[in-house]
Structure 1
């Protein structure tokens, strides 16, 4: 695969904008997915939505949203910049990147975004959602929740679940970027040689990339959510202990809890993020030819 080179600052801006829009549009699916993954009685997506609307209203479906919008914006910016960096570091003398090297570049991008953006925002978001379903919520919003978590648990409190987040994000980006890049290259090389892809096709390719990503990384997402819940320190010694308890006490199917809402979100996410990113890059002239 051969790529045009994105300018770093333009790539950061386009990625951050795409990430913020995607997070806000798809947040209710993320809320339902996260709620369904907590321990205790299993709840279906429809029941969670009905109960939340009944007790909290539409606003309840956006509990923890601000944490994800900020984190997703930063995450997407870091993801595209770091992927572009790793991609070009791994390119051969002709500027081409093979599928295995694209997979490695995606893995590196995922690990980078997990450390600098995803873990803190995901931990805060998860705790805010978990807290919102309590009889007497203790957090009043993003800022108050973040300060309270740091005060109670220190900086490590917002980095809880770092290992499963790194594993999930590494796998997410590796699978998503490789699937997207491979399909994009195939379509451009067969159906539309030398022509830019229209937004509808870009959205479709991004959606397929999201679909593949969900089913391959779902167990890591469930472990991540459990490790970031309010009672994680009491329940689990580490990620491996968490995985062991889920498997032995709840069965292997529990690792795919929340698949439907996550599938909805990542298919939409893949389409929205790649479409917005490609169009912003095109508008601001952020791509250089190698």
Structure 2
């Protein structure tokens, strides 16, 4: 990210702020806001909802079919099932991600503060593992179960608090840690690919087009968006397995993540691993641009060197 080791508190504040704003932007709906904000809200979180719904087992449905069916049966608000879990989880995981990445990067950086692509990959992998354990698995499990429950004729859960307490009461703490292994694999791969792509592109631009200068917000956003695009293409199969392992009936259908992957491959075909690519691509390209841009600017405001 930056050429010097960041203050952990600065990284935590900047990362949490970036994650919360990104999640709020993608989840805000049905509010009295400007048309541009509502448009951004409409385009983004529903892509996460559609992506998750499309990755469940059973009959394959196109994104448009999922949207039409959901709106017809549940109304527009049905497209925002599990949104609250994502907002809270996003804020926490982004803070953990940037603190962890900056910590590992500081250990691996050369005397000039530069990080090679392999070392950036390793630092990103470590950051992804940390965020998976601390924040992502619980929030993603709750979000996935809420989305899965919402497609029932008579949903069991009445929102985030009721859903979380019901899951913990019925399944214990392990109930919100379903799919920990595939989440660790996905988040490790996500962060490794995302940070490596972002750091490599940023260092290249700074060393060629703008040596010794801070990057404009537009360029930072574009680099972050490209990092999101590359991440989706590389890690989508892990995301599909993660969703299946966190669904309501996962315990009855799959022995473990490897069994889940084997069943998807043998029963549904290789291409099933890339189900939900388009909606996830829209979300991660936008979130990549938003998160990295906000992070860099918050660090800059707090006196760091972005």
1:139 is matched with 157
2:221 is matched with 203
Distance 1:284 1:95 in 2: 20
Could you give the per-residue CA deviations for residues 78-132 of structure 1, whole angstroms, max 9, x where no partner exists? 0000000000111233433211111000000000000000000000000000000
Structure 2 residue 194 is the aligned partner of structure 1 residue 176: yes
Choose which of 204, 208, 229 in structure 2 pairs with 1:186: 204
- Segments of 5+ residues of structure 2 without an aligned counterpart are 27-43
The root-mean-square deviation of aligned C-alpha atoms, in Å, is 1.3
Distance 2:72 2:162 in 1: 25
Contact 2:5 2:103 in 1 (8 A): no
Could you give the per-residue CA deviations for residues 231-285 of structure 1, whole angstroms, max 9, x where no partner exists? 0000000000000000000000000000000000110010010011111111222
1:217 is matched with 235
Runs of 4+ in 1 over 3 A off after TM superposition: none
1:8 is matched with 8
TM norm structure 2: 0.92
Structure 2 residue 306 is the aligned partner of structure 1 residue 255: no
Distance 1:107 1:155 in 2: 25
1:71 is matched with 89
Distance 1:124 1:168 in 2: 17
Choose which of 225, 250, 253 in structure 2 pairs with 1:232: 250
TM norm structure 1: 0.97
Which sits farther off after the overlay, 275-284 or 238-247? 275-284
The count of residues paired between Structure 1 and Structure 2 equals 288
Secondary structure of residue in 2 paired with 1:6: coil
Displacement of 1:5 in angstroms is 2.3
Where relative contact order (Cα < 8 A, 6+ residues apart) is larger, the structure is 1
Displacement of 1:288 in angstroms is 5.8
Choose which of 27, 31, 34 in structure 1 pairs with 2:49: 31
Displacement of 1:27 in angstroms is 1.8
Distance 2:75 2:198 in 1: 37
Distance 1:93 1:196 in 2: 21
